[in-house]
Amino acid sequence: MWSSELPTGTVSPDRTGDRTYPLDPSTPDGVDTQPYPTRSELTAAARDRSRAVREANQLRTQVSLLRDELDRERTERRQVVERYEYLLADVQRTKNEPKRTAGVCERIGAHIDAAFTSLRNTVQR
């Protein structure tokens, strides 16, 4: 056993002995470092975890809202396409029938133009 590992004897003024050990040269200033986190480190870690949980919940909420918005836009787009197909079929049917009046064709053409414009605006978003 090395002499640096042996206890040293000290004598107090009232002549009672006390055993002490030499300072460990591997620790700065002889202060023992604790292998466990301090209370402030634990508190900071708990705050960080709480902040991360809140942020994750906010992100989940945002994702849910964005999915709902995407579903609405898909539904709107599908409705525009269905309306456009209906009007197109109506025009095709009208072409095969004998011409009645120019007013009907103009109205159908206006509907098709409006549907096409709406579809183009939806796609450009």
Report the predicted TM-score, pTM, of the whole model to 2 decimal places: 0.43
Whole-number pLDDT of residue 112: 85
Q: Which amino acid is at 77?
A: R
Measuring CA to CA, which residue among 29, 33, 30, 34 is closest to residue 21? 30
Beta bridge partners of 64: none
pLDDT digits (tens, 9 = 90+) for 92-110: 887 776 665 567 777 888 8
Count other Cβ atoms within 10 Å, centred on residue 115: 19
Cβ neighbours for 17, distance < 8 A, ≥ 6 positions apart:
9, 10, 11
Q: What is the DSSP letter of 23?
A: P
pLDDT digits (tens, 9 = 90+) for 80-92: 999 999 988 888 8
pLDDT digits (tens, 9 = 90+) for 12-55: 555 555 556 555 556 555 455 667 889 899 999 999 999 999 99
Tokens, residue 89:
């079929």
